[in-house]
Amino acid sequence: MSAERIDAVSSPRYAQLPTFMRLPHQPDPEGYDVVVVGAPYDGGTSYRPGARFGPRAVRAESVLLHGTGVDRPQGTFDLIRAVDAGDIDLSPYDMGAAMALATSRLAELAERNDALLMIGGDHSLSLAALRAAHARYGPLAVLHLDAHSDTYPPVYGGTFHHGTPFRHALEEGLVAPGALVQVGIRGHTPAVDSLAWAREQGVSIVTADQVMEDGIRLVLDLLQAKTAGLPLYVSVDVDVADPAFAPGTGTPAPGGLSSREVLALIRGVGALRPVGFDVVEVCPAHDVAGITALFAAEIGAELLYQYARSHKGKQA
C-alpha cells in the first residue's frame, strides 16, 4: 500500500482496503507521531464475546472520516504523521500468552514512535498498552471512560480479564498517585462496595449521574486538577455511552452518556498532555447499523486530533 493516506478526492471512501481513517499500512513503523494498532481479542470478556471482531469493524466505519472539519483550523494529518500498523496476532486460547505478546509488541511500537492508538478488543489489553506508555513516559495520569471501574479482582481463574486492567495498573505502579480519573461509572456491580478498593487507592470516580448533574466543564476541571503536567493516557470503553448510542458491546449498562457527551469530554484532552490512547469493547455481532463501530472510529479520530492539537497545533 502507498506510503500516503488514501486521498478521498481520487478514491471514493468505500474503495480500497480499509485501514484506520485510510492511513497507510506500515507493519514496522518508526519515528511516527501516532501509530494505530488493532488488538483483536476477547479472551477477557465476562459476558457477551465478540470484541475480537472490533478492529475490523472500526476500521471499516472509519473510512468515512477525514480528519478535517468544523472548528478545526488545521486537519489532523496536516499536523501529525500517523500510520496503521495492522493487528497484533493474539492467542484466542491463552490469556497469559495474549497479555505477554500484547505487552511486548506495544512496548516495541511505543519505544520507536511517540504515541499509540490501540483499537480493541476487550478492555483487558489496556493493561498492556498502559505498560507500554509507562515504559516510555513514566508514571501516567489516566482518563478512563467506562460504565465499569475495571478495578475488580481476578475471577474464574482468569488473572487478566476485562474487569481487571486498572487494578493491575495501580498495583504495578503504572499510575501516578491520585491521577486515575474514571468517568461514566454506573449500574450493577458484583458487590455493593465494589468501588471501595479503587477509592482507597485514590481513584477519582465520576458517576454517570454526576456527569449529568455537574456537566462536562466541571468534569474537565477535575481532570485538569488531577492530571496537570503528567503524561496522560486515555482509555475509552464504548460502554461508557448508553446502549442507545453503543449497542454493540459486551456488557451494556443503561443510563450512560450520549455520544455527544463522550466526544465533548475527549475534546478537552488536547489542552492536557496526551501520550497514548485506546478505544475498546466494540462487539460487532451485537451492533446495529454500525452505530457502535462508527462511534468508536469517531472517538479514535477525535483522540488523534486532540493529540495533534496538543503537540503540534498553534492554538491551545
Q: Which residues are at the interface with Mn ion (CB under 5 A)?
A: 123, 146-148, 150, 237, 239
Query: What is the nearest approach in angstroms of Mn ion to the Cβ of residue 301?
Result: 21
C-alpha distances (whole Å) from 35 to each of 88, 107, 184, 278 are 13, 12, 27, 11
Cα 73–chain centre separation = 25
Query: What is the nearest approach in angstroms of Mn ion to the Cβ of residue 219?
Result: 18
Structure-block grid coordinates of residue 31: 519515528
Nearer of residues 65 and 181 to Mn ion, judged by Cβ: 181
Cβ neighbours around 194 below 10 Å, total: 16
Nearer of residues 84 and 239 to Mn ion, judged by Cβ: 239
Query: What is the nearest approach in angstroms of Mn ion to the Cβ of residue 164?
Result: 10
Query: What is the nearest approach in angstroms of Mn ion to the Cβ of residue 42?
Result: 12
Burial 255-267 (b: 16+ CB within 10 A, else e): ebbebebbbbbbb
Nearer of residues 113 and 249 to Mn ion, judged by Cβ: 249
Nearer of residues 232 and 280 to Mn ion, judged by Cβ: 280
Query: What is the nearest approach in angstroms of Mn ion to the Cβ of residue 127?
Result: 11
Nearer of residues 33 and 146 to Mn ion, judged by Cβ: 146
Strand order in the sheet with 140-145: 82-87, 34-39, 115-120, 274-280, 232-237, 140-145, 175-185, 204-207
